[in-house]
Amino acid sequence: MSDDKIESILEETRRFPPNADYAKGSYVKSIDEYKAIYEESIADPPAFWANLATNLEWFSPWDTVFEWDRDEARFSWFKGGKLNACYNCLDRHVNSPRRNKAAIIWQGEREDAMKVYTYQQLLSEVERFANVLKSKGVGKGDRVSIYLPMIPELAISLLACARIGAIHSVVFAGFSSEALYNRIEDCDSKILITSDGTYRAGKTIDLKGKADEALEKSKSVTSVIMVNNTGSEVSMTAGRDFWWHEEVENADLTCPCEEMDAEDTLFILYTSGSTGKPKGVVHTTGGYLLFTMETFKNVFDYKEEDVFWCTADLGWITGHSYILYGPLAAGATSVMFEGVPTYPKPDRYWHIVEKFRVNTFYTAPTAIRSMMRLGDEWPNGRDLSSLKVLGSVGEPINPEAWMWYYNVIGHGNCAILDTWWQTETGGHMITPLPGATTLKPGSATFPYFGIEPKIIKNENEECAANEGGFLCIDKPWPGLGRTLWGDHERYKTTYWNNIKGKYFSGDGARRDEEGYIWLLGRVDDVISVAGHRIGAAEVESALVSHTDVTEAAVVPVPHDIKGEAIYAFVTLREGLEGDDDLRKALVKHVRHEVGPIATPGAIQFTDMMPKTRSGKIMRRILRKIASGDTPESLGDTSTLADPEVIDLLIANRVKQ
């Protein structure tokens, strides 16, 4: 790891204090109250989390709250305690006045495709499907791969696995057959749950065909359970493939919960690695469930009557934590959406907010910028007055998108929660609290309770105010992934050996003079120009602040004199075309906003970025394209939403 600091050069001076009337009803009502709770959580984390753990229902108490072998990067929370995640998400609410409360509101891509599941109804569906899994030989500790679109059976599958102690591994339905195969084989899955097909922007996509391709090579899968989702014609392998609806029709109606140790694995979720080989992050039952439930309640300030909507897919950690486990453990009503934000019209998101009177809306900056590009008339044509809290997740949100979100979607009345966390962390790490935090556009603000971030340079030296460095967390918290499936050495090397004894996030950050934390992007997205280490996110933010730009991605390219130069990929507002005059204007704009050191050496205009289906830009691919690599050297591109964008980007590469 480099000893150099990361230079931080973008300033933001606007301030937005919490709404005084809203704060009166919040869980955390002021910054002083936040600070008091935070200090308590840092002074004695085991006592703090043990007290909160009583908010879950346990079959038997734990033996030890927290143990940590720092050298081996092994730790545990509530070891010996017995509980079940499904029981905490469903059964305990069914045994309460929430029995007939809506647990999941599902909206399909087609407007007439909608279902509402009360807690009682959802429990009934989960119990029947859990019995189907058991009938196929699935038991505690067995792995189940799930390759489904955003349909109710996806949520039911996860909860059914949790009920019987099986370990679920969700593979995003946009992944290729090769990506599916790799994930099935890595965790040795016994069962695959999939569907005949999926809908996307009016098109029907074959899912079973991709599953069959993966299964041609798989040695571990013995049964496939398939949802009849689109009614498409599919091939069925006798003795291996079974229809969901036929299996549940004959299943017993009740299924007892398996008693799980708090440290038993709940799920595996694969995330990209710098080597190109996905990492199977392991999350356990007790700590993860506690952390997602508590962060959900406090960060979103969830109240009993609220309707919460996270637009993510359950194939990603955001969906696991803030569509399913966090909201349902808290007894919330969670919206689950199958479609895309611009189909059949660009106001699809705002129509759903209006339709279900959504109170909390949580989405990605990429989606925000895309909708911003389409114009204000779409959200202005819908009634968004039910909204109280707006969240952002997945990457740092630039101040211009933040302000659009605040003014156009929230009408200046909603707190904007710029949340920083990762697949590995399980839940929110750095985030505002809507009733307590004065907001600064572009800052994730302050750490959540029990989280002690350190911004490090020179191995273990902390950075001064406004000095960028490597974002680390001082000690484990309950929601942190315990290991990588089958490869603890890689877990140690990736997360604990870079800054010895601290969790290394892989992100750069700075703290300003008031203690606010600003994310500077991935450390491998940090660009070293003439000895100055510049966070890519800051240059991107400067580009997007130009009125003609809706999205930007900045990567380093080798430079004979400077070491690295800045190469920018830029998407313009609809109807505009890039030319040399606009390139010069953007260069001038960045020099004005950030400084001459951040001047892009090349700007490539593109209508599309290489993105995953969750909306994340794959900067690893952009770096290789900018550096002149051939298509064959780009590595795994199976997770791209539109692989054809690669050829266009290479064809339009700018010579330097």
What angle, rounded to 10 degrees, do the helices at 31-43 and 45-53 form? 110
The Cα 523–Cα 107 span in angstroms is 38
The Cα 311–Cα 367 span in angstroms is 10
User: pLDDT at residue 1 above 60?
Assistant: no
The Cα 234–Cα 231 span in angstroms is 9
The Cα 262–Cα 265 span in angstroms is 8
8 Å CB contact between 605 and 587: no
Q: Is residue 255 part of a domain?
A: yes
Q: Is residue 225 part of a domain?
A: yes
User: pLDDT at residue 275 above 60?
Assistant: no
Pick the last residue of a domain from 245, 261, 277.
Answer: 261
Structural domain of residue 606, as residue ranges? 543-651
The Cα 213–Cα 237 span in angstroms is 13
Burial 415-449 (b: 16+ CB within 10 A, else e): bbbbbbbbbbbbbbbbbbbbbbbebbbbbbbbbbb
CATH code for the domain in which residue 126 is found: 3.40.50.980
The Cα 49–Cα 56 span in angstroms is 11
End-to-end CA distance of the chain: 29
Categorize the per-residue pLDDT at 644 as very low, low, confident or very high, splitting at 50, 70 and 90: confident
* Residue that is written with structure tokens 């339709």 in the block: 355
What does the pLDDT read at residue 499? 87
Burial of 305 by CB count in 10 Å (0-12 exposed, 13-18 middle, 19+ buried)? exposed
Categorize the per-residue pLDDT at 271 as very low, low, confident or very high, splitting at 50, 70 and 90: confident
Categorize the per-residue pLDDT at 3 as very low, low, confident or very high, splitting at 50, 70 and 90: very low
Q: How far is CA 83 from CA 52, 79, 452, 466, in A?
A: 15, 11, 28, 44
Number of domains observed in the structure of the chain: 2
DSSP letter (8 states) at residue 445: B
588 Cβ contact partners less than 8 Å away, ≥ 6 residues apart: none
Tens-place pLDDT, residues 591-614: 887 777 889 999 999 998 998 877
How remote is the C-alpha of 442 from its chain's centroid? 18
Pick the last residue of a domain from 231, 261, 291.
Answer: 261
The Cα 541–Cα 654 span in angstroms is 21
Q: Is residue 490 part of a domain?
A: no
| 198: alpha, beta or left? (left if phi > 0; alpha if psi -120 to 50) | beta
Tens-place pLDDT, residues 346-390: 999 999 999 999 999 999 988 898 899 899 999 999 999 999 999
Q: To the nearest whole percent, how much of the chain has pLDDT over 90? A: 77
Q: How far is CA 479 from CA 262, 354, 498, 525, 540, in A?
A: 11, 33, 21, 26, 31
DSSP assignments along 1-44, one per residue: ---PPBB--------BPPPHHHHHTSSS-SHHHHHHHHHHHHH-
Pick the last residue of a domain from 234, 261, 288.
Answer: 261
User: pLDDT at residue 9 above 80?
Assistant: no
Q: Is residue 595 part of a domain?
A: yes
- The CB-side HSE value for 142 (13 A sphere, CA atoms) comes to 21
What does the pLDDT read at residue 2? 45
User: pLDDT at residue 239 above 90?
Assistant: yes
What does the pLDDT read at residue 535? 76
What angle, rounded to 10 degrees, do the helices at 285-299 and 45-53 form? 90
User: pLDDT at residue 191 above 50?
Assistant: yes
The strand pair at 167-170 and 265-271 is best described as parallel
Tens-place pLDDT, residues 124-173: 999 999 999 999 999 999 999 999 999 999 999 999 999 999 999 999 99
What does the pLDDT read at residue 376? 96
Element (H, E) at 526: strand 526-529
CATH code for the domain in which residue 631 is found: 3.30.300.30
- Look up the pTM and report it: 0.86
The residue that leads in pLDDT, 166 or 527, is 166
The Cα 617–Cα 569 span in angstroms is 11
8 Å CB contact between 254 and 291: no
Q: Is residue 645 part of a domain?
A: yes
Q: To the nearest whole percent, how much of the chain has pLDDT over 70? A: 95
Categorize the per-residue pLDDT at 532 as very low, low, confident or very high, splitting at 50, 70 and 90: low
Q: In what order do the strands lie in the sheet with 469-473?
A: 461-462, 453-457, 469-473, 503-511, 517-522
Q: Is residue 291 part of a domain?
A: no
Q: Is residue 614 part of a domain?
A: yes
What does the pLDDT read at residue 631? 72
In this prediction, residues 495-512 reach a mean pLDDT of 91
Q: Is residue 137 part of a domain?
A: yes
What does the pLDDT read at residue 478? 98
Strand partners, 197: 206
Residue type, 619: R
